[in-house]
Amino acid sequence: MKLPPFQALLDEHRVDVYRFCVATAGHSEADDCFQETWIAALRAYPQLRRADNLRAWLLRIAHNKAIDLHRSRGRRPVPVESVPERAAAPSADVVADDEPELWAAVRELPPKQRTAVFCRTVLGMPYPELARLLESSEDAARRNVFEGLRTLREGWTP
């Protein structure tokens, strides 16, 4: 298996991973999420079986790290996969002054939905790639995007 030098991955995907961390883990946890993601990726890298979609592989790790960080900081209970009644009001400490409340609402979504919403709307990620990232079917990936957007829409006025 011929793998590119790890630095090439970092150069190519650094920005996407960092933005993912800010969007899903929040400003205050973004640096930790970023570092934990890359350290975990570096640890696993030499055993990687396929190198054809490294972005999905990296964001899968970041997705898990964001969940770990939410959990370990004990800010809220472990999010579940069911759709909440409505997007909870964002907690003030994770909203940066210059950041639209929309991202704070994204962070309140269940993990798969917030990852799906970010990857579709910011990265324009194709569904097969999103399905691989979420380790789900393409239908399930579509549903996660849809449910996430529906919840966001309920608490949002254009």
Partner 1 sequence: MNDKPTPNGTTEAAGADAALEAALRGSAAALPDAPAPDLDRQLAERAAAEGLLDVAYATVDSPLGTLVVAATPRGLVRVAYTEFRPDADVLDELSRKLSPRILEAPARLDDARRELDEYFAGRRTDFDLPIDWALTRGFTSKVLHATARIAFGKTSTYAEVAQRAGSPRAVRAAGNALGANPLPVVVPCHRVLRTGGALGGYTGGLERKEFLLRLEGVLI
Distance between CA 119 and CA 60 in Å, rounded?
11
Q: Which residues bind partner 1 (CB under 8 A)?
A: 2-8, 10, 14-15, 18-19, 22-23, 30-31, 34-35, 38-39, 42-43, 45-46, 98-100, 102-103, 106, 117, 120-122, 142-143, 145-147, 149-150, 152-153, 156, 158
CB of 145 to partner 1, least distance (A): 7
Distance between CA 148 and CA 87 in Å, rounded?
10
Q: Which one-letter amino acid corresponds to residue 10?
A: L
| H or E element in which residue 71 lies | helix 54-73
Cβ closer to partner 1: 8 or 89?
8
Q: Which one-letter amino acid corresponds to residue 78?
A: V
Cβ closer to partner 1: 44 or 78?
44
Tokens, residue 105: 């609402």
Q: Could you tell me if residue 4 is left (phi over 0), alpha (psi between -120 and 50 degrees) or otherwise beta?
A: beta
CB of 130 to partner 1, least distance (A): 12
CB of 119 to partner 1, least distance (A): 11
CB of 39 to partner 1, least distance (A): 6
